[in-house]
Amino acid sequence: MVQIPRGTRDFVPEEMQKRRYLQQRMEATFRGYGYGEIQTPTFETLELFTAKSGASIIDELYNFKDKGGRELALRPELTAPVIRCYIERLQMAPKPLKLFYFGNCFRYDRPQKGRYREFWQAGCELIGTDTPEAHAELVALAYTILKNIGLQNIVLNIGNLHVISAMFEKLRITDAVKKDLLTFIDKSQYEDLNSALRSNDISQQDTEAFLEILQTPDLDKIMNYVHGHERAHTELTRLRGVMDLLKTSFGIPDPRVKIGIVRGLDYYKGLVFEIEAPVLGAEKQLCGGGDYELVSLFGGTQVPQAGFAIGFDRALLALETEQFTFPQPSLDVFIVPVTETTIPMALSVASQLRAQGLTVDLDLLRRGIGKSLKYAAAQHARFAVIIGPKEQEEGKVTLRNMIDGSQSSCAVADLTAAVFT
C-alpha cells in the first residue's frame, strides 16, 4: 500500500472543520489589529534561508535542484520569505506596514507529537516602527489571538537580548563560552548552567546572582544588576514601558519578564517573547517572536522590524487538550423523498433552497424514512423536509424540526422563511 510520507498528515472533514474554525478566528483578530494578509511561494531559493543561518541549516530543510539547475528549498518558516517580498515590492508602502500570513512550512526533523515535517504557521510582521506602543501592540496581538481561539491557560514571557548580552559582558564571558551557556539558558537547565559558569572561573557569588537575575520577574532587580550599562538600562526602561502598556492599556493580566528568553535565532536583537501552553508538556511552545533585523541582511534599506509566529498545529493541539468544544457544522435542511416518484420534486426543492443560500442535503441512497432521518440527525440537520406522494399532490411538504421533533405542513414557497426563523 502506498502510504503518506513520514511527518505529514491528511486532514479529513472533521479535522478541517476545526482547522478552519481556528484559522478564521485568528484571521479576524489579525484584521482587527489592522493587518493585511500576505502570501508567498511554497518554495524559495535555498540562499534565502542559508543567508541568515549558514549552510548548516541545509540538514534541516527540504532542498532540491529543479530541472534548470536552480537550488531551491521548501520554506522552513515564513519570516524570511515575507521580508524578501517586502524588499522586492513593499519598501515604498506607507509605514507602519502590518502583514499577516498563514502557511505550511517544512522541516526535515524527527516527527513527534506536535512536531511534523509539514506544519502550519500563523504569524505577522510589523515593519517601520519600534516604539514601545508598537511592540506592546504586537505582543498583545499574539496573546489576544491565542485567547480568542479559546485557550484558557497560556503563559506569556518577555525578555530582551541586549540585556542578557550586558549580563554576559559584566561577567566577562567570551563569545565562544557564551554559545554553550545560551543552550542551557534556552532550556532552563540552571544546574548545568551553574556548573558551566563555575568551571569558567566565575565565583560562586557571581554565579548565584547571575542565575537569580535570569529567572526573576522583578525588573528593578535586573535594572540594579546591570547598573552602569547604558544600553541595557535604555532597553530595560523600554521594557518597563511595554510591560506597563500590556497590563494597563491592553488588559493582559499576567505578562512575565523572563530575561532568560534566548530564542534560537541569530537575527533577533532587542525585545523577544514566547507564549507557551503548559498542557502540552515537552513541545509546549505555541508562539515566539520579537524585534529583529533581516531587511538589511537581504539588501534592503534598514527599517525597524518585529513579528511573531504561532505554531498552528500546536495551538489546535492545546485547544483539544483543554477539551475545547468546537462549533459543529450543521445543515439547514435534509430532504427525504419517501418514494422514487418524489425524487424529482425533492431535487427541485433542494435547488430552490440552495439558491436562497441555505445548506441543503438530501437522500441519495433511496433509503426509508427512518434511516434517512437517522442520517439527517448524524449530519446535525436543523430541519428535515419530507416529500411523499401525499405532499406532492398538495404541492406541499412536511417540515420536521429536528431539534424538538415538531412537524407541520408547509408550502414550498414558505420553506425558506420557516427555516430562517
Partner RNA sequence: GCCCGAGUAGUGUAGCUUGGUAACAUAUAGGACUGUGGAUCCUCUGUGCCGGGUUCAAAUCCCGGCUCGGGCCCCA
Residues that bind RNA (CB under 7 A): 1, 3, 5-8, 49, 52-53, 57, 60-61, 76-77, 107, 109-113, 183, 186-187, 263-267, 281-282, 288, 338-339, 365, 367-371, 373-378, 380, 386, 388-391, 398, 400-405, 407
Closest separation between CB of residue 370 and RNA, Å?
Answer: 4
Cell numbers linked to 154: 497560556
Q: How far apart are CA 74 and CA 64, in angstroms?
A: 9
Q: Which is nearer to RNA, 101 or 225 (CB)?
A: 101
Contact 23/123 with Cβ under 8 angstroms? no
Say if residues 57 and 74 touch (Cβ distance below 8 Å).
no
Q: Most distant CA pair in the chain: distance in Å?
A: 97
Nearer to RNA, 176 or 403 (CB): 403
Q: How far is the CB of 57 from RNA (least distance, A)?
A: 4
> SS3 of 181, please?
helix
101 neighbors 122 (Cβ within 8 angstroms): yes
176/378 with CB nearer RNA: 378
Nearer to RNA, 230 or 404 (CB): 404
Q: In the complex with RNA, which residue's Cβ is closer, 20 or 380?
A: 380
- Least Å distance, CB 59 to RNA, is 8
Minimum CB separation from RNA for residue 260, in Å? 14
DSSP assigned state of 24: H
Contact 124, 99 (CB under 8 A): yes
Distance, in Å, from the CA atom of 267 to the CA atom of 405, rounded to the nearest integer, reads 62
Nearer to RNA, 194 or 401 (CB): 401
Whole-number minimum distance, CB 225 to RNA, in Å?
26
Task: Judge contact between 397 and 385, C-beta under 8 A.
Answer: yes
State in angstroms the smallest separation of the CB of 164 from RNA. Answer: 15
Cβ pair 271, 239 in contact under 8 A: yes
